[in-house]
Amino acid sequence: MAGSVVTAVSSYLPDRVLTNDELSAIFPEWSPAKILRKTGILERRIAAEDETASDLGVRAAQKLLERECIDPSSVEFLIFCSQSPDYFLPTTACIIQERLGLAKTIGAFDINQGCSGFVYGLSVANGLIESGAVKNVLLITADTYSKFINHRDRSVRSLFGDAAAATFIAASDQNSQIGNFVFGTDGSGSENLIVPAGGLRLSSAPVATVADQFGNHRSPFNLYMNGSEVLSFSLQQVPHIVRRVLKLAALNENNVDYYLFHQANKFMLDALIKKLNLPNEKVPRYGELTGNTVSSTIPLLLEDMILNSRIKPGVKLLLCGFGVGYSCAGCTLDF
């Protein structure tokens, strides 16, 4: 049985920068300093009007293929993870196959998952490789939540940013670097992080925006987040996922060098660190210049750690993504 390894990660951020100064001008009750203090975010990137998640994903993948000198025709499988696809149909991954010049013999499909999506993508890639079906997988995570966000909804506008990441997973003679996958799903929380309209359940709805009890404006076509419910889910479920991964991997919490959590925002990570009683230095952060980029937060963090030489041979990581769905997933990743 072949093992699988993560050989490279690269990212792409759109050009437009949304600063705390701009947000504070729209929401004067929040100073730029307060937004930074509470969210840990200085600025986010926003996709252009005519720029979709697939555009961001293609750029991230091109960067990865060029930098790593990977011949596009050698890619055997493409997974595109996004909740902002180009169309209902066809599958965005099929469009990306053509744009990247990948072989017509590859397999390609989309995964519709948000904050848990990167770990889901790794699990599918790992399964495809370990089963012997393919020798490598190009995993692209990309989202443009900004297109769902009402510009007068500070609760989500201050948190989310657009981005894409490309990760290359390849077969190796060694044991798998990736493993010990665990999952969690609780659809009872689906209404707490949702774009209610636009799909077939509610394809036509009033487009007028309505203010909620906190003065945030949105229409049914906009992203809605019940922050307290999502936090409460995360505080309850993330410790379970972490414990399940540790048990499956027969590790204790000290054996893990770094915990790579979905980078939701500063207070979420602060709360989780306290809840799990982990030292700050074992829970690296990334997102001050990107915000919450949904399924790309973990690969963006991973790329940052690789660039800063924090990933050395022998390093053991525990990954955990959690959020919209509710959906969560965890695994280990060794270098």
Residues of this chain that bind another protein (CB under 8 A): 29, 34, 38, 155, 213-214, 216, 226-229, 231-232, 235-236, 267-268, 270-271, 274-275
Smallest Cα–Cα separation from 126: which of 167, 184, 163?
167
Q: Of 180, 262, 265, 320, which one is the catalytic site residue?
A: 262
**Tokens (6 digits) for 198:** 């636009």
Q: Of 81, 292, 320, 328, which one is the catalytic site residue?
A: 292
Question: Is 151 part of the annotated catalytic residue set?
Answer: no
Least distance CB 206 / another protein (angstroms): 23
Residue with Cβ nearer another protein (56 or 268): 268
Smallest Cα–Cα separation from 11: which of 65, 46, 57, 44?
57
CA distance 205 to 196: 9
Least distance CB 287 / another protein (angstroms): 17
Residue with Cβ nearer another protein (235 or 251): 235
Q: By CB neighbour count within 10 A (0-12 exposed, 13-18 middle, 19+ buried), where does 139 fall?
A: buried
Least distance CB 271 / another protein (angstroms): 4
Question: Is 292 part of the annotated catalytic residue set?
Answer: yes
Residue 189 contacts residue 325 (beta carbons within 8 Å): yes
Question: Is 115 part of the annotated catalytic residue set?
Answer: yes
Smallest Cα–Cα separation from 102: which of 129, 76, 136?
76
Residue with Cβ nearer another protein (54 or 155): 155
Least distance CB 86 / another protein (angstroms): 32
Angle of CA points 85, 86, 90, to nearest 5°: 90
**Tokens (6 digits) for 116:** 């848990």
Backbone dihedral angles phi then psi of residue 225, each to the nearest 5 degrees: -130, 125
Residue with Cβ nearer another protein (196 or 227): 227
Residues classed as catalytic = 115, 262, 292
